[in-house]
Amino acid sequence: MKKQGILFKYIWKYKFRYLIGLLILLMVDYLNLSVPQITGDIIDGLTLMSLTAEGLIQLVGTLLGVVCLIALGRMCWRYFIFGTSRNIERLIRNELFEKLEGLSQNYFNQHKTGDLMAHFTNDLEALRVAIGPAIISSFDAVVMTVLALYKMMTLVDVRLTLLTLVPMSVIAVGGYYFGEIFEKRFAKKQAAFAKMSDHVNESISAERVIKAFVQERKQDEAFAEINKNNLKHNMGVVQLMAAVFPLLEFVIGASYVITIIYGGYLAIIGQITLGKFIAFNQYLGMLVWPMIALGDAITSFSQGRAAIGRINHVLNEIPDIVDDEEHFDVQKLNGSIEIQNLSFQYGPHLPYALKNINVKVQSGETLAVLGRTGDGKTTLVNLLLRLYDATEGSILIDGMDIRKIPLKVLRENIAYVPQDSMLFSDTIERNISFGRRSASKEEIIQAAKDACVHDNIISFPEGYKTVVGERGVTLSGGQKQRCAIARALLKESAVLILDDSLSAVDTDTEDQILANLKCRRENKTTIMIAHRVSTVRNADYLLILDEGEIKEFGTYDELMALRGVFYEMVEKQRLEEMLQSEEVDHGTDC
């Protein structure tokens, strides 16, 4: 795609709207040029005593009619061109959002939220100005200039008109030169704004952590530095504009002075009439707007060019994870999973996160995955969801390589509860039904009951209509986890993945949820990542990972009989529970 390909695609889509708007603008410009001519005729008629009362009324009536048509025309071209630019802005924003939704996890690992948000705000605003007001300004400048010069040459004086071409040539050459500089400075300005947006977004998300560690002062200092950098690049644009526009006005003013002096001289010696001299000054006044508009248009086009370049960087991104051309024609999965010689690296120069994993789980069985932090448990989940593709080996579901299962089908058949239970700033009901929008209220309530969160929800004043804060911040950790579990259960998928999703609930509630899962998900596959041994006691198989490799695999009883890593984990947690129990009974000595 060319740099402005996406832009031209939408401009072409709305070409007739643009054409109608420009034709109306052309008519308005032509009518504007008749005003000085009518004014000059009135003045010459009155000065030379050649205009009758009837003729004067007719000319004044014509002038009023022209003014009314100009006002109507300006309303129409604003509707067609400004309205179209807003529509194009909306469509590009939709396409940009859709593109981001389809990009792979790697892209978001490498690009900050603030930078992406800047595309939706400042970049699109600059683009809208470039395809709306800037088009009007540039078209108006060209048309008004050509028509005004033609009128000035034919109705007034050629020599006087030629004087006006000198400043216009200076403006045209200077505009091209400054346009290149504007584009570079605007790109830096947008990058600085993106960096600032990202810092603000991150600080707000981490507000509780910042307060807990009493780091407000350091965050303020860091933001002040980033804000200073943002000011620096904004001032770079402002300084250039501060230099360009006064220079532009100086050239226009000098042109005014020269032409008025020379035009006045021609009127005094009788080579042009007083009416023509006044008409010439009105035409010259009409040329001032195009010259200023041309400067504005150059600035807007430069900013728009930089903005569309940044937007196209996103739109031209190719996702790492896509459907295979020779994919299976399947809609429903049963959930049997086989992992064959699976190895994975997050980068070519990074260590293996998983090495030579071989596991088989039949449909309806439960697999528990345990290990220390960083042993590859979540990585395994990411590979099952195809957020990443395996570096080596393969994952089969129902005997089919997941790379040949359409992404939509694969993910529709897997329900996932992540470690960080993400809830949207919406009602609890809509958060739970996010997994299946068509679910009835009764189904939502049943899912909440199975996740042991129903009683909490109905205790809120608004019940299921309670709006939770950003990322569910107004709920406790356990409530967030259980709402996320309810959302996953409602999906009724062939495979359910719980990534340490019971860590924030007490053991009694955990036992109840696990019992409900066993009943509700009979004949469906469940994968549980956990740290507490109690969570996985009833799993069909346990997979113990150590530094990305399989350390142990088997049933609970088999691993206990080995008296290896899993046995040590069980004994350690049992000892911790005993110590905690003693502390509760006897109190803690300080």
| Tens digits of residue pLDDT in 396-423 | 999 999 999 998 899 889 999 888 788 8
pTM: 0.71
Strand partners, 341: none
Question: Identity (one letter) of the amino acid at 229?
Answer: N
Instruction: Give the integer Cα–Cα distance in Å for 444 and 465.
Output: 12
Residues in the chain: 590
> Could you tell me where the DSSP H helices lie in 491-530?
507-520
CB 417 within 8 A of CB 450: no
Would you state the CATH architecture of domain 5-315?
Up-down Bundle (1.20)
Neighbours of 246 (CB within 10 A): 10
Domain 326-413+494-590 shares a fold with domain 422-492: yes
Identity at 473, one-letter amino acid code: V
With contact defined as beta carbons under 8 Å apart, do 277 and 267 qualify?
yes
**pLDDT by position in tens, the chain (length 590):** 444 567 788 888 888 988 998 898 888 877 877 776 677 677 767 776 766 777 778 777 878 888 888 889 888 888 898 888 889 888 888 888 888 888 888 888 787 777 788 788 878 888 888 888 888 878 877 777 777 777 777 766 677 677 666 666 666 666 666 766 776 787 788 778 777 877 777 776 666 667 656 677 877 888 888 888 888 888 887 777 777 767 767 776 777 677 777 777 777 777 777 667 776 766 666 666 666 667 677 777 877 887 888 888 888 888 888 888 888 888 888 889 999 999 998 888 888 899 999 999 998 899 999 888 888 888 999 899 898 888 889 999 999 999 999 988 998 899 998 887 888 888 889 888 887 888 888 999 999 999 898 998 898 888 889 888 777 777 888 888 889 899 999 888 899 999 888 877 888 888 888 888 888 888 889 999 887 777 788 888 999 998 889 998 998 888 888 888 888 888 887 787 677 666 555 554 43
Phi and psi torsions of 340, nearest 5°: -120, 115
CA distance linking residue 106 with residue 320, whole number of Å: 8
The encoded tokens of residue 142 equal 């060209």
**Alpha carbons 206 and 218: distance in angstroms, whole number:** 14
Which residues, at least 6 apart from 474, have a Cβ–Cβ distance to it below 8 Å? 468
Q: What is the pLDDT of residues 154-198, one digit of tens each?
A: 766 677 677 666 666 666 666 666 766 776 787 788 778 777 877
Sequence-distant contacts of 356-362: CB under 8 A, at least 24 apart: 356/393, 356/549, 356/550, 357/393, 357/549, 357/550, 358/550, 359/541, 359/543, 359/550, 359/553, 361/336, 361/337, 361/525, 361/527, 361/540, 361/541, 362/336, 362/525
| Distance between CA atoms of residues 450 and 496, nearest Å | 14
Q: What CATH superfamily is the domain 422-492? A: P-loop containing nucleotide triphosphate hydrolases (3.40.50.300)
Spatial contact of 123 and 315, defined as CB atoms under 8 Å apart: no
Contact 382, 368 (CB under 8 A): no
pLDDT at 590: 35
Question: Is 113 exposed, middle or buried, given 0-12, 13-18 or 19+ CB atoms closer than 10 A?
Answer: middle
Nearest Cα residue to 315 out of 513, 116, 488: 116
Q: What H or E segment, with its residue span, contains residue 370?
A: strand 366-370
Can you list the pairs that 533-540 forms with residues at least 24 positions away whose Cβ atoms lie under 8 Å?
533/370, 533/569, 533/570, 533/573, 534/507, 534/510, 534/573, 535/368, 535/502, 535/510, 536/368, 536/370, 538/366, 538/514, 539/366, 539/367, 539/368, 540/361, 540/365, 540/366, 540/367
> Bridge partners of 344?
354
Cβ atoms < 10 Å from Cβ of 110: 7
Strand partners, 361: 337
Give the model confidence (pLDDT) of 108-129 as tens digits.
878 777 778 878 887 888 888 8
For residue 418, CA distances in Å to 146, 299, 448, 462, 574 come to 65, 47, 17, 27, 27
326-413+494-590 folds as Rossmann fold (3.40.50)
Sequence-ordered strand ranges (E) for 420-548: 495-499, 525-529, 541-546
Domain ranges of the chain: 5-315, 326-413+494-590, 422-492
Where are any strands of DSSP class E within 192-323? none
d(CA 550, CA 341): 11
